[in-house]
């Protein structure tokens, strides 16, 4: 036990050191992103703590998916930057919306999932017995055992999302980005995939997900970043998902109706 002064406070010399604050996995520094030089995310200032589980929410057209593309490097900043806290692009796993995927490509489930090993084996690498066992384990972890040789075009939306999560498992990334991961899937699949997200969080990975359903956000995501092309609020979920913030976000997006470059700080 430490010594205390007359007022009951522990003496500075013997007081335990405060736990250090978590370092940011990401920092958005005056970040502006857009298309054809038309900004869709304006002057964003925020930090995402390492190991945090964060939802990105906001009205349609708020720039949520655009922000994830800026983190992956698919979109280069028009202004500002994304700073990584010791991470590289190889540390990022990204799940786009299913609508962005070509499901007609002749791939089996095992082929799709094995793509999670791409950085390890390259485009023409051989799986081998040990790697194939890892692929099978990832498929089993998302409940798709028996579907290994099914073409991806024959899968339901929930089955496809399970396969995509299995691919992410093999990437073993420190930062996981999910764009609407629970849209148009059944309740059982959603529960299983939420468990995978919780497992990633428990392993100390940083997980960021674009979500629409506020019940899901409140139930499973401790932190939330609300966008309306500009930052509305960022912090503990219950402090962000307030009626006032949601009303403000809708107003901001309605003011931005039309070409992106006519709103926000770029307005005349």
The strand order across the sheet containing 231-236 reads 92-95, 175-179, 206-210, 53-57, 223-227, 231-236
- Residue-range domain boundaries for the chain: 51-73+89-254
Q: Are 139 and 148 in contact (CB under 8 A)?
A: yes
Digit-coded pLDDT (tens) for 162-205: 999 999 999 999 999 999 999 989 999 999 999 999 999 999 99
d(CA 141, CA 122): 24
d(CA 251, CA 253): 6
pLDDT > 70 fraction of the chain, expressed in percent and rounded:
86
Pick the CATH number of 51-73+89-254 from 3.40.50.150, 3.40.50.2300, 3.40.50.1400, 3.40.50.300: 3.40.50.300
Digit-coded pLDDT (tens) for 48-89: 999 999 999 999 999 999 999 999 999 999 999 999 988 888
d(CA 135, CA 141): 10
What is the reported pTM? 0.86
Cβ neighbours, 10 Å, residue 259: 10
d(CA 216, CA 222): 11
- Angle in degrees, CA 193, 49, 69, rounded to 5: 65
pLDDT tops 80 at residue 259: no
d(CA 32, CA 65): 13
d(CA 236, CA 218): 10
Q: Report CA dihedral (168, 171, 175, 179) to the nearest 10 degrees.
A: -30
Q: Are 260 and 34 in contact (CB under 8 A)?
A: yes
Give the residue from 245, 109, 91, 103 showing the smallest Cα distance to 175: 91
pLDDT (0 to 100) of residue 268: 30
Q: Across residues 227-238, what is the average pLDDT? A: 97
Residue listed under structure tokens 């692929």? 135
């Amino acid at each position: 036990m430490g010594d205390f002064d007359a007022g009951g406070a522990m003496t500075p010399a013997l007081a335990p050191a405060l736990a250090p604050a978590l370092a940011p996995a990401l920092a958005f520094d005056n970040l502006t992103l857009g298309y054809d030089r038309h900004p869709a995310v304006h002057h964003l200032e925020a930090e995402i703590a390492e190991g945090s589980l964060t939802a990105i929410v906001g009205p349609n057209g708020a720039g949520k998916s655009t922000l994830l593309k800026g983190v992956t490097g698919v979109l280069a900043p028009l202004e500002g930057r994304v700073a990584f806290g010791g991470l590289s692009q190889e540390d990022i796993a990204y799940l786009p919306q299913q609508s962005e995927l070509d499901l007609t490509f002749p791939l089996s489930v095992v082929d799709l999932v094995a793509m999670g090993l791409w950085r390890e084996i390259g485009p023409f690498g051989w799986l081998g017995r040990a790697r194939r066992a890892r692929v099978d384990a990832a498929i089993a972890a998302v409940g798709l055992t028996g579907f290994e040789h099914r073409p991806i075009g024959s899968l339901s939306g929930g089955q496809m999302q399970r396969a995509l999560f299995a691919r992410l498992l093999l990437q073993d990334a420190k930062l996981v980005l999910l764009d609407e991961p629970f849209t148009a899937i059944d309740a059982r699949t959603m529960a299983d995939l939420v468990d995978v997200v919780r497992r990633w969080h428990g392993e100390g990975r940083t997980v960021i997900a674009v979500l629409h359903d506020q019940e899901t956000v409140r139930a499973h995501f401790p932190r939330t970043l609300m966008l309306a092309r500009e930052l509305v609020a960022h912090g503990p979920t219950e402090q962000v998902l307030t009626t006032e913030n949601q009303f403000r976000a809708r107003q901001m997006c309605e003011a931005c109706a039309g070409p992106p470059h006519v709103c926000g700080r770029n307005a005349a």
